[in-house]
Chains A and B, each alone.
Chain A
Amino acid sequence: MNALSNAEPLLHVHELQTHFFTRAGVVKAVDGVSFSLQRGQVLGLVGESGSGKTVTGFSLLGLIDAPGRIVGGSVRLAGVELVGIPEAKLRQVRGKRISMVFQDPMMTLNPVLTVGRQMELALGAHRQMSRKAARARSAELLTRVGLADADKRLDDYPHQFSGGMRQRVAIAIALLHEPEIIVCDEPTTALDVSIQAQILREMRLLVRESGTSLIWISHDLATVSSLADRLLVMYAGRIVEEGPTATVLRDPRHPYTKGLLDSLPAMARPGEELRQITGGAPSLSSLPPGCAFAPRCERATAICETMPSLEGDAVRRFRCHHPVGVDA
Chain B
Amino acid sequence: MSAAASPIANFWAEFRESPVALAALVVVLLIIVVAVLAPLIAPQDPYDLSRLQLRDARRPPGFVGSGGYVHLLGTDAQGRDLFSAILYGLRISIQMGLMAGAIALCIGATLGITAAFVGGRIEGLLMRIVDLQLCFPAILLALVLVAMLGQGKAQLIAALVAAQYAYFARTAYGAASAERRKDYIEAAMATPLSSRRIVFRHLLPNCMPPLIVVATVQVANAIALEATLSFLGLGLPVTEPSLGMLIANGFQYMMSGRYWISVYPGIALIVLIVAINLVGDQIRDQLNPRLKR
Give the complex CA separation of A25 and B4 in angstroms: 13
The verdict on A23 contacting chain B, using a C-beta distance below 8 Å, is yes
**The residue from A23, A65, A286 contacting B14, defined by CB atoms under 8 A apart:** A23
Q: For residue B286, give the distance in angstroms from its CB to the closest CB of chain A.
A: 12
Q: Which residues of B contact A (CB under 8 A)?
A: 1-3, 13-14, 293
Shortest B8–chain A CB gap in Å is 16
Q: Does A67 contact B (CB under 8 A)?
A: yes
A24 and B293 contact, CB distance less than 8 A: no
Question: Residues of A at under 8 Å CB distance from B?
Answer: 23-25, 65, 67, 283, 286
Q: Are A25 and B1 in contact (CB under 8 A)?
A: yes
Chain A residues with CB below 8 A from B293, complex form = 65, 67
A286 CB contacts on chain B under 8 angstroms: 2
B2 partner residues in chain A, CB cutoff 8 A: 24, 283, 286
Q: 10 A-B Cβ contacts within 8 A?
A: A23-B13, A23-B14, A24-B1, A24-B2, A24-B3, A25-B1, A65-B293, A67-B293, A283-B2, A286-B2
With a CB–CB cut-off of 8 A, which chain B residues contact A24?
A: 1-3
CA distance in complex: A283, B293 (Å) = 16
In the complex formed, the residue of A with least CB distance to B3 is A24
C-alpha gap A286/B4 in the complex (Å): 13
Q: Chain A nearest CB: distance from B15 CB in Å?
A: 12
In chain A, what residue has the closest Cβ to B10?
A23
- With both chains docked as a complex, state the minimum distance between the C-beta of B85 and any C-beta of chain A, in angstroms: 45
Nearest CB of chain A from residue B212's CB, rounded to whole Å: 21
Please name the residue on chain B nearest to A286 by beta carbon. Answer: B2
Bound together, the chains give a CA A23 to CA B13 distance in angstroms of 10
Once the chains are docked, how many angstroms separate the CA of A273 from the CA of B13? 46
Which residues of A sit under 8 angstroms from B1, Cβ to Cβ? Answer: 24-25
What is the distance, in angstroms, from A65's C-beta to the closest C-beta of chain B? 8
CA distance A24 to B1 in the complex (A): 6
Please, how many angstroms separate the alpha-carbon atoms of A285 and B283 in the complex? 27
Q: Across the interface, which residues of A come within 8 angstroms of B14, CB to CB?
A: 23
Chain A nearest Cβ from B5, distance in angstroms: 10
Could you tell me the distance between the alpha carbons of A286 and B2 in the complex, rounded to whole angstroms? 8
Instruction: Give Cα distance in the complex from A286 to B1, angstroms.
Output: 9
Expressed in whole angstroms, the minimum distance between the Cβ of A80 and any Cβ of chain B is 30
Considering the complex, give the chain B residue whose CB is closest to the CB of A22: B293
| A65 surroundings in chain B (CB, below 8 A) | 293
Chain B proximity of A198: nearest CB distance (Å)? 30
Nearest-CB distance from A174 to chain B (Å)? 25
A247 vs chain B, min Cβ distance (A): 38
Closest to B14 in A: A23
A52: shortest Cβ distance to chain B, in Å? Answer: 16
New A-B pairs, 7, CB < 8 Å, besides A24-B1, A67-B293, A286-B2 = A23-B13, A23-B14, A24-B2, A24-B3, A25-B1, A65-B293, A283-B2
Q: A211 to nearest B CB, angstroms?
A: 37
Q: Which one of B13, B14, B293 has the highest number of Cβ atoms from chain A below 10 Å of its Cβ?
A: B293
Give Cα A24 to B13, complex, Å. 11
Complex formed: what's the CA distance from A25 to B13 in Å? Answer: 14
Chain B residue at minimal CB-CB distance from A24: B3
The residues of B that contact A25 with a CB separation of less than 8 Å are: 1
A283 to B4 CA separation, bound complex (whole angstroms): 13
A67 to B293 CA separation, bound complex (whole angstroms)? 9
Give Cα A141 to B14, complex, Å.
48
**Cα distance, A263 to B249, chains bound together (Å):** 80
Contacts of B3 in A (CB 8 A): 24
Tell me the minimal C-beta distance from B7 to chain A in angstroms. Answer: 14
The answer for the CA separation of A24 and B293 in the assembled complex, in Å, is: 13
Q: Which of A23, A25, A283, A286 has the most CB of B within 10 A?
A: A23
Q: In angstroms, how far is the closest chain B Cβ from the Cβ of A132?
A: 39
Q: Tell me the minimal C-beta distance from A55 to chain B in angstroms.
A: 12
Q: How far is the CA of A65 from the CA of B291 in the complex (A)?
A: 13
**What distance in Å separates the Cβ of A144 from its nearest Cβ neighbour in chain B?**
36
Cα(A26)–Cα(B14), bound, Å: 17
Enumerate the 9 nearest inter-chain pairs by beta-carbon distance, A residue then B residue, closest first. Answer: A24-B3, A25-B1, A24-B1, A286-B2, A23-B14, A67-B293, A24-B2, A65-B293, A283-B2
